[in-house]
A = this chain, B = another copy of it.
Amino acid sequence: MSDLSERYRAYLAALNERRLDDLVEYVQDELTYNGAALTRPEYQAMLAGDVEAIPDLFFDARIIVATEDRIACRILFDCKPEKEFLGFTPDGGRFLFAEHVFYRFVGGRIAAVDSLIDRHAIAEQLQARRS
């Protein structure tokens, strides 16, 4: 049975190439994001907001664990936010941080996302540059 890794890499490529309208191929009409119900347009708007705040946002998948209906991914970000993001006010510098995220797919499209972003690393980098 084939796993979802190639499909997931195609999803990340769509994000990295800013083809957000292609999300219809990879995301269910309705999904949950950290337990909250979202429509795909709402999910797309959330990602569009991330990219607006962080124009050089690049999803760099470092570990992908894939089965037939699940993906877990460790993603590294090395980016320069230009607007407020995750409640942080950018200071003009770069940030290096990880996201550890789980996806459940139904019919080849994402139905549930459980994401943890390393806000602690972001806070520490801001703090280190302030002092």
Q: Give A residues with C-beta under 8 Å from B.
A: 3, 63, 65-67, 70-72, 74, 98, 100-102, 114, 116, 118-120
For A97, the closest partner residue in chain B by CB is B116
A74 near B98 (CB under 8 angstroms)? no
Main secondary structure of the interface of A (DSSP, over half): strand
Instruction: Give the number of times this chain occurs in the complex, counting copies.
Output: 2
Contacts of A63 in B (CB 8 A): 70, 72, 102, 114
Partner of A102, one of B65, B114, B119: B65
The interface residues of chain B lying within 8 Å CB-to-CB of A3 are: 67
A and B contact pairs by CB, cutoff 8 A, 24 listed: A63-B70, A63-B72, A63-B114, A65-B65, A65-B66, A65-B67, A65-B70, A65-B71, A65-B72, A65-B102, A72-B72, A72-B100, A74-B102, A74-B114, A98-B114, A98-B116, A100-B101, A100-B102, A100-B114, A100-B116, A116-B116, A116-B118, A119-B119, A120-B120
